[in-house]
Structure 1
Amino acid sequence: MTPEPLTPANTTVVLVDYAVGFANLLRSHNLAEHINNVVGLAKTAKWYESGLVVTNGQSSKPSGPLYPELLEAIGDQPVIERAVDFNSFLDESFAQAVREEGRENLVVGGIATDGCVLQTVLGGLREGYRVHVAVDASASPSLEAHNAAV
């Protein structure tokens, strides 16, 4: 069986942990280019009205809130704050938000590719989704870690 192409009607974009406190740890990608790619992915999801689920750790923690540029791009989109889980699907609020979108494909981007992105992708696969990684909108503390996770 050949999977259908990704479309706004069958795809949810999932943005994971684009917290300002992580930005200074990234070495796999140029930070300005990384932020530009993340904002572009968010704007594309909003423009084409695909599903969009945004999650972050608690903004009061050292990792902090989402990038200001991303917050501006997503507007009134809710941000699901998770307590600790690397696999976002272990947070029931996140899992429910993805289910409510009702789309079978996920496009996941986030920080770090080798941590929360990888674990969220594996969680999505276990939940039965077809999962794709937005590699140019994901980053890690090293290029080696990013590439190994991809």
Structure 2
Amino acid sequence: MTTLPDRPHTALLVIDVQIGVVATAHDRDRVLANIVSLVDRARSQEAPVVWVQHSDDDELKRGSEAWEYVPELAERREGEAVVHKTYRDSFEDTDLERRLAERGVGHLVVAGSATDFCVRSTIHGALTRGYDVTLVSDAHTTEDLSEYGAPTPDKVIAHMNLYWAGQRAPGRTAATVTTADVVFGQR
């Protein structure tokens, strides 16, 4: 029930699954396998796949090896949008909104990294902009920042899934589902 008029389509939004972002991510291989599965399913159901790629002046310099998408997801198809960002929210100072509007997208299925930074900021940004947002509970990850006082990654991920499953906004839906339960198409 997106609040965006004439936006019946669902897109897969893959956030920051870059070599330098997921190098030490929690449960990396299982999460990447789930994201690969989601990309394959979206393509087979003709749902748009939108790739988000973060850069900064420190560890993710544009064009560096760390900035590149992981090899498991390196093959993007012609026509699949790539959105370059420098803020945690994938909508901030990018062309993401325009690209989604062009594709008639009002519902986002979200996977990627990092759960507690770019994923969280983007799903909030999407919901406040009128999108329905489904977080794929077993297809997002983060690194261990517990030495800085954060919970361990498994707890960060579990909390995000619990928190997002209960999120509400007028005229929009928020949900969490597993990779196996994701459905693309019109809403």
Q: Tell me whether the two structures share a fold, i.e. TM-score over 0.5.
A: yes
Mean Cα deviation higher: 58-67 or 10-19: 58-67
Matching residue's letter, 1:10: H
Give the TM-score taking structure 2 as reference length.
0.68
Structure 1: gaps spanning 5 or more residues: none
Residue 62 of structure 1, CA deviation: 6.9
Matching residue's letter, 2:93: D
Count of residues in Structure 1 that have an aligned counterpart in Structure 2:
140
Q: SS at the partner of 1:138?
A: strand
| Structure with the higher helix share, 1 or 2 | 1
The answer on 1:57 being equivalent to 2:81 is: no
* Aligned equivalent of 2:16: 17
Give the TM-score taking structure 1 as reference length.
0.83
Residue 71 of structure 1, CA deviation: 1.9
Structure 1's consecutive aligned runs of 4 or more residues displaced over 4 angstroms after TM superposition are none
Matching residue's letter, 1:13: L
Structure 2: gaps spanning 5 or more residues: 3-7, 56-61, 144-152, 162-187
* Aligned equivalent of 2:159: 148
In the TM superposition, what are the counterparts of 1:68-87 in structure 2 within 5 Å?
A: 68-72=71-75, 74-76=76-78, 77-82=80-85, 84-87=86-89
Residue 87 of structure 1, CA deviation: 0.4
Bigger CA radius of gyration: 2
Closer, same or farther: CA 14–61 of 1 in aligned 2, 3 Å: same
Distance 2:11 2:41 in 1: 11
Q: SS at the partner of 1:43?
A: helix
